[in-house]
Amino acid sequence: MKSIDEYKKIVITLKKKVKLLQQEQQDLKRLQQEKVYVYSDRYTAIKQLKKAAKKLGLTTEMFFRAADTKSMEIVTTKRLGEILKKVARLHENYVQELLNIFDVENSGSITKDEYYQTLEMYQINEEYGNNFNRNSYSKFIYFLKREQYDGIIGFIKMDPNKLGYITREMFVAFTQSLNNWQQYLTLREIYSAFQYMDISENDQISREEYLQAFEKLPALPQIQQIQEQKVNILRKVLLIKGVKLSSFVLELMLSIQKPELGITIEVFYNVAKQYLDKKETLAFFKLMDYQQKGSIDYDEIMSFYYMTMSYGDSFEIVFTILARKLQAMNKSIEKYLKQEQIYAETQLTLDQFNQIAQDLFNTPNYEISAKLFEAMDLDNSGIVSAQEIITYTNESLKNYSLLLRQKTQTQTTMLFEDFDSTQIEIANLDIEEQLLFELKKYKTTFSDKDRFENFQYIFTNEISCLVVCLQIVENLKFNKQKYWEDPEFGSNKLDPYGANSIFRIENLPVKGWPDPKDLCWQRISEICNDWVFMDENGANANDVIQSHYLGDCWLISALTIIAGNDQYLVDQNDISKGLYPKLFHFLSKYGIIVIKFNKMFRDVYVVIDDRFCTYNNKLLFAECRSEREWWVQIIEKAYAKLHNCYESLTSGDISQALFDCTGIPCTRYVIDENDNTKDPQEKKQQLLNLFQVGKQTNALMGCSAHGTGQVLLNGEETGLYRGHAYSILHYFHLKDAQSRIHKLIVLRNPWGFGEWKLKWSDYSIEMNENFQLIQAYFNEEIQRCEQNDIEPPDQYNLGDDGIFIMNFKSFQNIFNNLFMSVNLDEQWSVMRIYDSFTKEHLGTPNKNERSQAQYPYNNPRYTIRINHPFPNKKIYIALSQKDGRLDRFAKYPYEGKLVKIIMCLFQLQQNETELTKFQKPVLDSKLLSGRRDIDMEVFSVQNATYVLIPSAHKPNITGDYVISVFFDFPPNGIIIESSTEKQFLLQPKIFSSLMQNPTLLKLFNQL
């Protein structure tokens, strides 16, 4: 018994069907008045071909073989036309129509596969085709039914011993025991029917498999097959007209006037008449409206698209149809999934996805669901989150709305070559829309390679990043919204306090930090009315203030060092360079900020909004000293997003932050006072040399001391801390009044306070006696730098601002680590090697002879051949691993995430062709290191053959890495060959070609 509510629903449904049928009758009547008939010359031509073959006692396939006299499996349309005229004796009009059907691409030739597949599509193929097994199975079932053997009786007869299964021999024996079997089946068909039913492919058919196969066939699959074949006729017609299937479907979607009615016959006719003749339009409408209810609903459109998809067709249009379907239902994707007890954080396997895809996407079978799943599973993890479905659908709805608006604005029917590029009148667009149109000429499709890790708004190239940002702007304008809100980082509906962006574990705040419920995310404009990234004076080391909540002194110190050279922040000469490329500055008015970092020698573009976390109306994390400047806060937030949350920035070393922020490789030098293998004077001189090189090359430098807690020197408090990173701002020699030379170093504490307290500190005797000389030195240095167009140092001032001076001896006594960038001038080129350690690699050699002999052959091996007359040739080699910090739950120093590696460079003698065993290297990366980045010092090379071998600390270690081989001579003087068959391409010095386009350059200048 049905309830009253159920009967009410049935009545409402019937009323809707009546209304749709009435509308269809009106539309049919109007089309008949316009003399649109359901008739096609194609069908007549096909029937004539089959009739001619039957009359001659031939198969339809034989006409192709008659034309293909040389058995080339390809014929010209002219040759096939002659056969159809002379042999089949078809009228010239039918011949021409058939040639159009077979030669879809209008290429003038037809392959055997094209001919046979077309015959099969129209169901006039008479020789065995791809469906032979299925057809044999169908004939077998019909034969048994004719002999009045239903499923269970047939199986009992085949399995007299009650084994519960039947073998091939039992199957054949039973069939051949029936009367007149040869009139209906051949022996080959019997074997083929068994093969079709043997789902497990074990030469046995179980009772369940047999009964399922017996019941499932006849009528419905044949109807579905006929449906698919007829729909493919439409696809061929569209191809002949030069129209892509997705374009046709999207045009239908954009032409819908009443979402709740779907595609009515009037809408379909107005679109299809551009590509189909009047005789075909109504026929194809009825074909797509397979439920025969007077309109094509969204599920029918999806079915039509699935049936006619071919290799290379995108699933993006499916999300457009879904978005429109939900819009017609007046239901959000979130609400739809929630009804199925699926939430944003739900992780779906393929099987789970298939269950909802059948209803949500109307996928007809598991295969289509799997293809759709694969398209969404960008990282090949075998998991798709419900959030991805939500994001894709909502983005599709926004894009659909934008396309619909553009269609209305241009007042013309447009076809879209694909989901991302449109043919629109640029004159009607604003500057940003014009820019988006031009950029899509460079980038029309997106893949997993365009996005970094699993982030939706972190990109690996500037064009993809800019295109998506401009699409965000278009959506904001269309929805009349002022600012963008980043769904990946900061507060949102699912995470109202933004705890997931602050803490590694959302519900486990860091001890001593504020309760998430007391935090607020505010836009910059809510905190400061006239904010700037950097003020007119540029960045200054003293701008940077670290938060006392977050232990990211290593990053803040790196920013302090970078502040000494504004081009690392914003390059005034190249709009694609710098941490905050000028290319993206115009987006800030929409609350969109793009910061460019570097990971494994590749640029990474992090898109954030301009909301920042505050506590009691004060910024929770790092900030600039000036309220107007925001470069520190912005960079720290983008860096936190890149590594999943702010807490992930706890602990690190300066060199990694410098590398990530500049793309310049950095190295670490260990200052070990307890190293007795070297003479103290030698160690002092080596350190002095490093400072001299750093000053000459304008290197970025920092330092730290091992351990924890305050640093004591001879029992005295120094004001410095172990395990804390300090920036090195300047190194200079000062001549005092007695003509004594003092080697002095300017450093900075990222806290913005807390300074050195002993010799040469701000209020020491040394400073009191020499302060004027120090100021005079800096005045002269500033003047010299300005005259030579070099970034000058800041004048030194007294006060607890975190900046202090130490002499060289004190520095050597306190600090253990010196971090320094390796600045190579523009004449240097670089080759990148992207490779991996695998379980087959043995790692570093042991002392035994066998291990040393295996070493060159059981590790990655790169042969570097150098041959160029250029004198004084040098190379520099650096290796970088995937950052352990990218794992949200890993902690510094990421043991278990980073491979301990050593690199060795060997030189072959003139009579040697390969390295046969481990020997003393000419250069190495020192000790095994579990650091993310390792390198070998700049090295002078000869015209010779070298072998570079990176090795892990033990066997069976896996991990990706990239090696950069820098060299200061022409690229034709170096060849790199790999034992792992990798390709080595010269890294271009100019990474962006956008500004070579005058149209783009003009548009950027107008922003």
Could you list the active site residues? Answer: 553, 724, 749
* Residues 605 and 587: beta-carbon distance below 8 Å: no
904-910 contacts: CB < 8 A, separation 24 or more? 904/948, 904/949, 904/951, 905/877, 905/936, 905/939, 905/946, 905/947, 905/948, 906/946, 906/947, 906/948, 906/949, 907/942, 907/944, 907/945, 907/946, 907/947, 908/944, 908/945, 908/946, 908/947
Element containing residue 733 per DSSP (H, E):
strand 725-735
C-alpha to C-alpha distance for 425 and 403, rounded to whole angstroms: 13
Q: Is 746 helix (H, G, I), strand (E, B) or coil?
A: strand
Its sign, for the CA torsion 563, 569, 570, 574, is: positive
C-alpha to C-alpha distance for 674 and 690, rounded to whole angstroms: 19
Kind of pairing, strands 933-940 and 874-881? Answer: antiparallel
β partners of residue 834: 962
Dmax over CA atoms of the chain, in Å, equals 125
Element containing residue 462 per DSSP (H, E):
helix 462-478
Nearby residues of 759 by Cβ (< 8 Å), 6 or more positions away: 766, 806, 807, 810
Kind of pairing, strands 544-545 and 710-713? Answer: unpaired
The three state secondary structure string of 885-904 is: HHCCCCCCCCECCECCEEEE
Q: Identify whether 845 is preceded by a cis peptide bond (ω within 30 of 0).
A: no
Torsion of CA 818, 821, 825, 830, to 10 degrees: 120
The three state secondary structure string of 655-713 is: HHHHHHHHCCCEEEEECCCCCCCCCHHHHHHHHHHHHHHHHHCCCCEEEECCCCCEEEE
C-alpha to C-alpha distance for 761 and 805, rounded to whole angstroms: 6
C-alpha to C-alpha distance for 923 and 472, rounded to whole angstroms: 50
Q: Which two tokens stand for residue 779?
A: 């005045």
C-alpha to C-alpha distance for 580 and 558, rounded to whole angstroms: 16
